[in-house]
Structure 1
Amino acid sequence: MNEINWSDFSKIEMRVGTITSASIFKEAKKPAYKLEIDFGEYGRRKTSAQITKRYQTDEIVGKQVVAVLNFPPKQIANMMSECLVLGAIGEDNDVILINPDTKIKNGLKIG
């Protein structure tokens, strides 16, 4: 494991947002969903997430998640991903989303 210092960690903009829409990402190489997430004052951002093993689109709309906002945009199939949703990677790449246990304000920083 590579060590980082506090300065490195403090550069990462991890924020809480609420998933406002989720749909099957048909064009993705691996099974994934297209998500739109509301980060409050940081706006709405689009991304894709390989979370199809554990979640259905209708059950994640309204769910709060943690995402990194300050990566550069990344082209994924035919969409530009604007953030990276965080999750724990279990067996067989089963991703479990990281989320607050209480509803909180969108855009709050994780630190």
Structure 2
Amino acid sequence: MGIDQSDIDPAQFLTDVEMRIGEVIDVNPFPEARKDVYKLRVDFGDTVLQSAAGLTDNYTQAELLGRQVVAVVNLGTVNIAGFESQCLVTGVDDESGNVVHLQPERSVENGTRVY
């Protein structure tokens, strides 16, 4: 494995991409979606955004509820099967190809900016 993308200006990245810590406050199945995803509501302190997140293979609804996640909050809204996904909850693939969500190593205030 190597790093495939060319370098970008770090200041520009931090200007363009806004990532924040949020707490999952609601998790629901999303049977209308083509992929196996959950409908999430995430509390960022001063606002609550919703997201369609592919975390179903590694997490039950109960396991996600109350967890903090790292999310991109300024991508705009994407309509997925009639559901407005307003933020992107970040994750990585595990060795089986299932999504593992990213979270801070300890609790921080909801809405904290990631940099």
User: Match for 1:23: what amino acid?
Assistant: N
Does residue 87 (structure 1) correspond to residue 108 (structure 2)? The answer is no
Deviation at 1:110, TM superposition (A): 0.4
Partner of 1:29: 34
User: Match for 1:24: what amino acid?
Assistant: P
Deviation at 1:102, TM superposition (A): 1.1
For structure 1, which segment, 88-97 or 77-86, has the greater mean C-alpha deviation from structure 2 after superposition?
Answer: 88-97
TM-score (norm 1): 0.94
The 5 Å alignment of 1:1-111 reads: 1-10=5-14, 11-41=16-46, 43-111=47-115
* Structure 1 residue runs of 4 or more that deviate by more than 6 Å after TM superposition: none
Deviation at 1:21, TM superposition (A): 0.4
TM-score (norm 2): 0.91
Report the aligned-residue RMSD: 1.1
Counterpart-to-counterpart distance in 2, 1:110 and 1:77: 29
* Structure 1: segments with no counterpart, 5+ residues: none
Count of matched residue pairs: 110
Counterpart-to-counterpart distance in 2, 1:8 and 1:78: 33
